[in-house]
Chain A
Amino acid sequence: KNQVEQSPQSLIILEGKNCTLQCNYTVSPFSNLRWYKQDTGRGPVSLTIMTFSENTKSNGRYTATLDADTKQSSLHITASQLSDSASYICVVSAGPGYALNFGKGTSLLVTP
């Protein structure tokens, strides 16, 4: 069964600090992996997308890494801001015609 596991389930950090979220998956075949940010009561918004050949992708203060051999990805947030408080969801695609595989998300709270 295709699975996407995220850790930690929740995280609290001080404003200005860095943090790293983890995503392990067993999805096969593999097409791409995306990280989404979902604010409370809103739909997910794409942060990064990586295909098999990409090891890292940055979007401002967000940097995602991918190790397709070990089927692991991480999302690193630098110099966190209060507005970073949200749920971060890892989504793995097996390709066209396949349903997306969603992780349960990591709930991040950035405090002053």
Chain B
Amino acid sequence: GAVVSQHPSRVICKSGTSVKIECRSLDFQATTMFWYRQFPKQSLMLMATSNEGSKATYEQGVEKDKFLINHASLTLSTLTVTSAHPEDSSFYICSARDLRAFDIGNEQFFGPGTRLTVL
């Protein structure tokens, strides 16, 4: 099956620093990748949709200057949390959609998530 990886799996940083999270599709090409945020006991909240070679589309209320997204290739998207603050501490999950999505129900494959803790 399709595999999506994230790196790092866990990161702790000081307030004011920037953190980069990578999302890779390992065995398929993804024209579209999605970034989600999940707080404890809550559902996944879509932050932004990342399309290869173009600017990301951000959901309402998500600061694009704070959460920088780059989708440089068909297998890699990065999320950079700039000037992180304790309230940015959360579980960040990416997903990727296969180029053949229309044949397999438009499915998104999720990464294992990155736990960010800002001190």
Report which A residues bind B (CB closer than 8 A): 31-32, 34, 36, 41-46, 49, 51, 89, 93, 95-96, 99-100, 102-105, 107
Q: How many residues of chain B have a CB within 8 Å of chain A?
A: 24
Closest residue to A103 on the B side, CB-wise?
B43
Q: Which of B12-20, B62-70, B81-89, B104-112 is the contact stretch?
A: B104-112
Partner of B93, one of A31, A43, A93, A99: A43
Contact A42 B106 (CB under 8 A): no
Q: How many A-B residue pairs have CB under 8 A?
A: 49
What mask results when residues 50 to 79 of chain B are scored 1 for a CB within 8 Å of chain A, else 0? 000000000100000000000000000000
Q: Helix, strand, loop or mixed for chain B's interface?
A: mixed
Inter-chain CA distance A51–B111, complex, in Å, is 24
Report which B residues bind A (CB closer than 8 A): 4, 6, 41-44, 46, 49, 59, 91, 93, 95, 101-102, 105-113, 115
Contact A102 B105 (CB under 8 A): no
Partner of B106, one of A45, A89, A95, A105: A95
Inter-chain CA distance A107–B40, complex, in Å, is 11
